[in-house]
Structure 1
């Protein structure tokens, strides 16, 4: 049994010291100086998820996003190449794009009219004669950032010296491959998203997607809204699920092992709750094999994959967190389906998404209330530790050689915080 001991606050000298093996200090949620340090040491020096390639399908398609606090544009140029550009005019620093997403032929600064191509190059500026012999346009394009992709997921970094994305994702790639099977044999496509903010620290949300322990308590309203067969599927705390530390702060929480590989067990009977969908697909002329494949995929994968520091592939959607301030976080819930998949399939995906993750759904409001209470409670007292020790005495080793705990263990939280500790302990880079 792990013995817990009291650690006096006066012995803490840095944010890294506030992360122990089995607990983290509540100051990590509320100290504005620590938050500013996190933006630099964590978000400015790692791979940050920005978009899925399906969000920028055509030439001129773009999406605005943030790396920590820094605004960027993810855009596809006329040749189909992807660029990640700092959203800052090289003249006086105004943003050149404010819309969430769209399609354009160029970016023009609204302040003084400097115009940039889709690749970020400076193409035009008013009264160019005033810059004769003092400005080389080739040197004043929008700053391009290093980016890499895996399974259509676009990640970028402000630090050109860090390891490759492939190396950073490591053991998470296996689970990303499995997650992308949920589009029923069609390419994964973003169907839409909604955004909201909650009055709490970003790490509260980072913890949540790897926390099965709260599900039957916080989400009683959701469980009461579904049929008995579906409720049985979500009764997973005493099942064979697990949480696995995948390295570099990433983790996977498997809640429904039977739904890990959506291309397996395709001969199983169609669940009663999905029979209407199967009937509709049959009316569209789909073969029995394709119907079974689509029906098995429609509810999503049976696991949540947390990718440190800002995105999770959560059963049937992407959840992206954006730190706004020490006590405010923006959440993007990104619904996904299949490009070219039957309309009935994508519609069912959207209805399921709306039922739980949507702004009027059963899950998101309840989660938000819990997150807000954690932030509020962190202000109580002068000393306090957040416990992340559940399951530490019952760990095992996974088939991939990773630390593994029960589905309701806090193995994933500890994985994220140990990566956080490593990055926060790093010396300042020049």
Structure 2
């Protein structure tokens, strides 16, 4: 592949507190992002609950390249390029399912769940020509942490644990919203917006926009929920730069670690019906854990470059073109006995109310993203500002650059990583 050539070096497009608008509009920059970022780092592809048993699979993408995430008969998870080794046809068009393997619909070459070539029809024409052991599906390096599955085209990259670094603490905390049970995916929906992928990447740790863009949502919820999300003037509500482009925005600090509960916080009255029903089969401590976690955790964790663990759901971005991005919103809940099904039904209703296609939150966000892309077409060399809170950014006790929840610390973290990766030939 011939690399595109920048007329301006990436290092000159990102400074400490601003980025060139061209980062949203330049097709050459986008093409290099696909190779220098999405094909060289760990990209989130699945939650383990999406491939729960041998033969389970999920179709997805790493950047623009189609892949299949599978669990083989021994329980190992693989990420396979969705491309037959014969003539390049895609092997799987289903978003998820159960299979014994994959057979190409064009010439019926067949592959196992681990990607190994199992069979070729009419093999006599290949005698002395093909060694099946050399024609397995291309396999991406795949590792998991906390149930989150990541894959990379770069076999020489650092281990996933090192890539995640201090974000692992926040992944651990995020998974506590199962209320003592593991987390599972409940459902998902996806949509496209006519804008660059980095516009959405910025949004997850952008507390500044919340009371402006989401006024209609704030007006639609009960007073307790609205009060809980009124973090604009809370000095304890902060954002950390966790390194490697990752960041976390703590909107409701008292819910950052759901295990830290002294019992003094009253449960929201809107969930009284759940308390009554759950109390028939679960003890009071279990019920309290499940109810306190109904809105998820009190933070949004942004993992560079493509997934956020946002309060009570996963948001996944997939770049399609310089001005087009696919977003998946994935609802999650506790993977417990039948009696917690009522919790998951309620969590789905909460998810739909904000994140759903007819919700009060996502459509307003998407309108903002579209407008940024349209506006950025004008004077593309004019900078996008990410300087809010720069003068009050201080290191936390852990050493993380930290500022208020409304500040742009998380965006600066992501663009520092972008600059580093785009400058690496």
1:248 paired with 2:244, answer: yes
Partner of 1:353: 351
1:105 positional shift: 1.2
Once the two structures are superposed, the pairs formed by residues 5-404 of structure 1 within 5 Å of their partners are: 13-239=8-234, 240-265=236-261, 267-268=263-264, 269-282=266-279, 284-341=280-337, 342-381=340-379, 383-404=381-402
1:12 positional shift: 7.1
Deviations 1:258-309 (A, max 9, x none): 1001122152322222222211212x32211111111111210000000000
Take 2:23 and 2:193, find their aligned partners in 1: how far apart are those partners? 17
Partner of 1:8: none
Take 1:155 and 1:364, find their aligned partners in 2: how far apart are those partners? 25
Partner of 2:420: 422
Take 2:267 and 2:251, find their aligned partners in 1: how far apart are those partners? 20
Take 1:42 and 1:110, find their aligned partners in 2: how far apart are those partners? 32
Unaligned runs of 5+ in 2: 1-5
CA RMSD of aligned residues (A): 1.2
Deviations 1:63-114 (A, max 9, x none): 1111111111100111211111111100001110111111111101111110
Take 2:158 and 2:412, find their aligned partners in 1: how far apart are those partners? 22
Take 1:188 and 1:369, find their aligned partners in 2: how far apart are those partners? 31
With structure 1 as the length reference, what TM-score do the two structures score?
0.95
Q: Is the 8 A contact 1:252 1:305 kept in 2?
A: yes
Q: Is the 8 A contact 1:266 1:293 kept in 2?
A: no
With structure 2 as the length reference, what TM-score do the two structures score?
0.96
1:58 positional shift: 1.1
Take 2:256 and 2:346, find their aligned partners in 1: how far apart are those partners? 20
Take 2:363 and 2:403, find their aligned partners in 1: how far apart are those partners? 28
Q: Is the 8 A contact 2:22 2:380 kept in 1?
A: no
